[in-house]
Amino acid sequence: MNAFLQTCLTFPTLVYSIVLAVCVAYWALAATGLVDADGPDALLGGDGDGDGDGEAAGVAAMLAKLGLAGVPVMLVATVLSFIGWLGTYFVQLLLLQHLPGALRIVVGIAVAVAMLVPGLFATSLLLRPLSRLLLKLRPPADPSILGRTATVSTPSVDAGYGQATVDDGGAGLVLQVRHHESGRFKRGDRVVLIEYLDAQHAYRVISEQQFNTL
């Protein structure tokens, strides 16, 4: 037990141990209702103008490219940190603890960063089935929303990623939107929903100006 704890609390395993502990604490608090389980995902769908919203949109875009659209971001973080912890634990146990101090730190930094690559790949592989299931469980699109005007809330919109908000008289709807021309729309542009793409659970959009000329 002492050897196990010592390895867990030794760099670089310590980094992933801390992140994993935070994730476990989050899920424990979410289970008791002390924190909002959808809080981190709501941030990713925000449409504010601050720098933080741009970073959140970047995270959402990365998750979409990994095939993890719709998967709770904290679940992705939990699985990723566990895989990183597992990898660095065995590297520390089998290799790093036998290296001299200075070399151990340098190699440890490289291992901690490099572990993100297989970690992201494994996380994507494990959670993609869940992503597909969650997309299937989403309620069917409301046909009446077609033709409505929306405001782009992500830095850009392309054929694989983009979000926009629609004023519904309440908190607003955050929708997935798509356009074949990358970079055509940016945050704040007004677009019109013209088609529901069932396979992507998203809406194809055109500019408001183009829609008005039809």
List, as one string, the DSSP characters of 54-82.
HHHHHHHHHHHHTT-TTS-HHHHHHHHHH
Rounded-to-integer distance, Cα 197 and Cα 177, Å = 9
Report the greatest alpha carbon distance in the chain: 72
> CB-based contacts of 12: which residues, under 8 Å, 6+ apart?
88, 91, 92, 96, 108, 109, 111, 112, 115
Q: How confident is the model at residue 53 (pLDDT cuts 50, 70, 90)?
A: very low
Average pLDDT of the chain, as a whole number: 82
Residue 44 is predicted with a pLDDT of 54
Higher-confidence residue of 198 and 78: namely: 78
Measured in degrees and rounded to the nearest 5, phi and psi for residue 175 equal -120, 150
Rounded-to-integer distance, Cα 172 and Cα 151, Å = 11
Q: Enter the DSSP assignment of 96.
A: G
Residue 179 is predicted with a pLDDT of 92
On the 0-12 / 13-18 / 19+ scale of CB atoms within 10 A, 43 is middle
Give me the numbers of helices (H) and strands (E) for the chain, helices first please.
8, 5
Is the pLDDT at 142 greater than 80? The verdict is: no
- Average confidence (pLDDT) over 24-29: 90
- Average confidence (pLDDT) over 177-191: 90
Higher-confidence residue of 80 and 68: namely: 80
Helix, strand or coil, per DSSP, at residue 154: coil
143-168 tens-digit pLDDT:
568 889 999 999 989 988 889 999 87
* Entry pTM: 0.60
Nearest to 112 by CA among 11, 18, 22: 11
Is the pLDDT at 10 greater than 80? The verdict is: yes
Query: Are the CB atoms for 8 and 89 separated by under 8 Å?
Result: yes
Measured in degrees and rounded to the nearest 5, phi and psi for residue 166 equal -120, 130
Higher-confidence residue of 33 and 120: namely: 120
Which percentage of the chain shows pLDDT scores above 70? 79
